[in-house]
Amino acid sequence: MSSYDVLIIGGGPGGYVTAIRAAQLGFKTALVEREHLGGICLNWGCIPTKALLRSAEIFHYMQHPGDYGLKLEGKVTADPAAIVKRSRGVSSQLNGGVGYLLKKNKVDVIWGEATITKPGEVSVGKSKKAPMLPQAPAPKGVLGEGMYQAKHIIVATGARPRVLPGIEPDGKLIWTYFEAMVPPAFPKTLAVMGSGAIGIEFASFFRAMGCEVTVIEVLPQILPVEDAEIAALARKRFEKAGIKIMTATKVTKVEKGADSVTCTLEDDKGGKQTLKTERLISAVGVVGNVENLGLEKLGVKMDRGCIVTDGHGRTSAAGIYAIGDVAGPPMLAHKAEHEGVICIETIKGMDAHAMDKLKIPGCTYCHPQIASVGLTEAKAKEAGYTLKVGRFPFMGNGKAIALGEPDGLVKTIFDAKSGKLLGAHMIGAEVTELIQGFVIAMNLETTEEDLMHSVFPHPTLSEMMHESVLDAYGRVIHT
């Protein structure tokens, strides 16, 4: 029986990053994967969706050449097969890169499905999961089915789409993000159930491709985790782009036709109506992959389908740890990666800082982009802070106007007493690249004075970050 210091179950962003860091720290390390290295993020989530959205962005610009003083002869068309092929190619390239990194760091890859049979022991059998992609062959030189021992076992098995009773995806008429990423053709009409990041990104993509899109959200606000002001601006932009949005509305029934679905909708006042579309995307969240791991008999504490951890990855069972989506929200790849590093450095005995979820940025890659970190204005008020709030519009920024992207807003929230940056929220072009500036500021416990005294380069979009801080304290220059 092969024996390891650390064995990680799951080869997604959290799992493979943890494995590499473990090897760097001198641990004999193995990683078990049942389907594809890189997990959902690399194969079905973060990466391929951004490839699709990049195609949509280019398509949008090509349809509006006159806005940039250009002329384009002939009609611009979208080729679904070519768009999907490019997206899959990007994922395939990175998938191979993960395998290379594991091999380079001397991490043993074990191909199969893992169950923790007892503390310190893992059984690996043939995968029971039907793969969404053609089953990846076991990389050359990896291990296979059998029993393995490890002093420390880290669960990093990720998550899958949540399924609502009576609205089970069938892969043809009702899609999850799996099917939505590889459409054989673009439907003429599409309903998207759920307005979180996944739902909104697909709504944005398919609308850019010419589909009539309706978003249905059970809560009063789209993008429920975002600041209400930013979400309201986003809704206006989406509706201007032609996306129909129905909030405070739930899908109570779905009937399938030969090539369409009919949703029965009910609003918060009891009003009912039906909506018929060619396809329906179910984007109502994800649920952790915690089944069939042997966790229950080992006494691992669970809460609402997630494994309870202590901020350093430790569970209630000695020698068993959990990171990433299975360890609870926010279910984001970058959270999983950082959580894995914290976990393995804790195992090593290093002074690893516990995960602070308020300092994890969130990004939605629709058009316009949305990014945030920290408390929303409403949450900051609920926490009892006296606030200073700054805002700066994209219309006041020279770079944004030059890019042809004058719509957007940067919003900053400070504690009026201490000057502590409590939160930052943005909507507009490239804000997913800008938000990290505020993430770093929060981690360094930066005050408003530090940010005011920082010199931001001109002309850049980042100048709006500076101006928003100035505005919070009555010192804004360019509005």
Catalytic residues: 458
Report yes or no: 112 and 34 within 8 Å, Cβ to Cβ.
yes
Q: How far apart are the first and last CA of the chain?
A: 69
Spatial separation of the C-alpha atoms in residues 300 and 294, rounded to whole Å: 9
Give the phi and the psi of residue 329 in degrees, each rounded to 5.
-70, 160
Give the phi and the psi of residue 80 in degrees, each rounded to 5.
-55, -45
Spatial separation of the C-alpha atoms in residues 191 and 262, rounded to whole Å: 10
Q: How many CB atoms neighbour CB 442 within 10 A?
A: 20
Spatial separation of the C-alpha atoms in residues 128 and 328, rounded to whole Å: 24
Q: Which residues contact 357 (CB under 8 A, 6 or more apart)?
A: 329, 330, 335
Spatial separation of the C-alpha atoms in residues 461 and 403, rounded to whole Å: 10
The answer to whether the Cα torsion of 197, 199, 203, 209 is positive or negative is: positive
Helix (H) or strand (E) holding 342: helix 333-348
Cβ burial 290-311 (10 Å sphere, 16+ → b, else e): beebbbeebebebeeebbebeb
The token duo for 76 is 């611009």
Spatial separation of the C-alpha atoms in residues 314 and 309, rounded to whole Å: 5
What three-state secondary structure class fits 324? helix
Helix (H) or strand (E) holding 263: strand 261-267
Give the phi and the psi of residue 287 in degrees, each rounded to 5.
-130, 140
